[in-house]
Homo-oligomer: A and B are copies of this chain.
Amino acid sequence: MDREKIAKELSFKTDSKIILLVIDGLGGLPRNGKTELETAHTPNLDRLAAQSVCGLTDPVFMGITPGSGPAHLALFGYDPTKYLLGRGILEAIGLDIEVGKEDLVARGNFATLKGDVIVDRRAGRIPTNVNDKICQKINASIQGKDGTGIVLYPGKEHRFVVKFSGKGLSDELSDADPQKEDKPRAYTEPLSPGATHTAEIINAFLDDATAILHDEPKANTILLRGFSKYPSIPSMKELYKLSPVAIANYPMYKGLARLVGMDVLSVGPHMEELFSNAEKHYKDYDFFYVHVKKTDSAGEDGNFEAKVQVIEEVDGYIPRLLALQPAVLVVTSDHSTPCQIKGHSWHPNPFLLFSSTAQVDHVTRFSERDCANGYLGRFHAVFAMPLMMAHAGKLKKFGA
């Protein structure tokens, strides 16, 4: 019996509430002997750690740097090596595009065709406003083969997402991208017999779009890759009998939450709104995923001071979450983003779980090194969900 099946069989509905606060990219590396989190003044998180059980999590496995998709899936209890999210669906999620169960999406590039060959796979990185106009132009005149709906959604510079809507579309398709410059345009090829008709639809679209773009100076053709359909993931409601909600203000995280069946609240860009929305909607749900983005952004920028400051800002809101008196409050991260690396990393995530049923350990400071000595040890992030469920009194006994 696998972990998911066990969760499904043992979980039951209660009134108790769980708050999962994800401080994106929290973990870091030392500067002058202290990490970003160790440098930050975090009296509330430290007091909370002293009353919690702590540990460190690996989202995929030791040494693996996860993207945001796999890292969040793990936190939500899904094995990220089982549920692989295609590039197309992640891009669509990142642009806040609604993708239906029957839709097929792909990541697109505008590119420059000269004679028979692609001379620039990024169309000279055309400005985003030009991209907007070209997408509108195609959307206005494109006719999908056999009545297939086709809509382009502009991204930044030369990037876009295309969504195909129809019946029986397959994502078992090769990329329609020559991968290198000075090669001819590439068509998609079906990777299974069931994808033949979809490939015909896509390839007709490639020709039609290229015809529409023939007088564009740079963006006169398109490349498509990462064909993907909406992934089939059992919902958190199905597995855990939860009524979950996401409180996040970046499209990627709202989209990831929708993938696992969460409701999503629209919140503004200020950190305070995450917490006021948790308060406002506290009676409506029993699982709250609250996502703080700016720690990760500061880490990506390599801005140590900014990351420290965001952590201190989050710390100030901890009393408001505690005032809601959840059965379980977890504070952790999806992955580490050390300023030294300026990107996601493989380092584990500090993790604390506060609950009246937690076995409080000796940890008195919320930091990477202190959590390493916590009671939970170092564990796979997929176990965060059963731990939260258990401490909230939402799991029956396994066997008799």
Give residues in A with beta carbon < 8 Å to B: 1-3, 6, 10, 27, 29-30, 35, 56, 60-70, 80-82, 84-85, 87, 90-91, 338, 340-341, 343-348, 357, 359-362, 368-369, 372-379, 383, 385-391, 395-400
Contact = CB atoms under 8 A, between A and B. Distances in A.
A2 B85 CA distance: 15
Nearest to A397: B65
How many copies of the chain does the oligomer comprise? 2
B1 A377 contact: no
A282 B396 CA distance: 39
Contacts of A69: 399-400
A387 B1 contact: no
A65 B395 contact: yes
Given A369-B375, A375-B369, A376-B378, A60 B359 contact: no
Contacts of A29: 357, 359
A383 B62 contact: yes
A259 to B, nearest CB: 13
A63 B330 CA distance: 14
A340 B223 CA distance: 62
A66 B397 CA distance: 6
A61 B3 contact: yes
A268 B137 CA distance: 74
A373 to B, nearest CB: 7
Nearest to A89: B400
Contacts of A91: 400
Given A69-B399, A390-B64, A397-B65, A372 B377 contact: yes
11 contacts: A10-B64, A63-B387, A63-B390, A65-B395, A66-B397, A66-B398, A70-B399, A345-B390, A359-B369, A372-B374, A372-B377
Given A81-B6, A357-B29, A360-B30, A344 B65 contact: no
